Amino acid sequence: MTRQEVLRRKPAPLRMHAILSEASVRTEVGGPDVLREQLDHLVTLSRLPNVTIQVLRFEAGAHLADSSGFALLSFERDEPPLGYIETLAGELFLESSR
């Protein structure tokens, strides 16, 4: 909950753009009531002006993120974006000067 506060903080909330697989929003963990609460929470977050949530439909087929998730972090200053991947062996941070 503390991490989510940065999306609502004043005066400068962080921006978030999330792309979720359709499987992640259809899979029940904890039963239908828990899934409903999770989906309601995503809808509430998506109404914030600094939050974008997209769902990658099953029809899109296989993609590079099938085996694990990743994050692309961008910064307001002239710093290059940073890639973050969680693996079974630990975390990877990827950066490029391009």
pLDDT digits (tens, 9 = 90+) for 45-71: 999 999 999 998 988 887 766 666 778
For residues 51 and 15, the answer to whether their CB atoms sit within 8 Å is: yes
Stretch 64-92: mean pLDDT: 79
- CA-CA distance, 52 to 18, in Å (whole number)? 6
Measured in degrees and rounded to the nearest 5, phi and psi for residue 44 equal -60, -45
List the domain boundaries for the chain.
Answer: 1-61, 67-98
Residue in this structure with the two tokens 């890639």, named with its chain if needed:
83
pLDDT of the residue at 90: 84
pLDDT of the residue at 62: 79
What three-state secondary structure class fits 5? Answer: helix
Whole-model pTM above 0.85? no
Residue 70, H or E segment: strand 70-73
Give the distance from CA 23 to its chain's centroid.
14
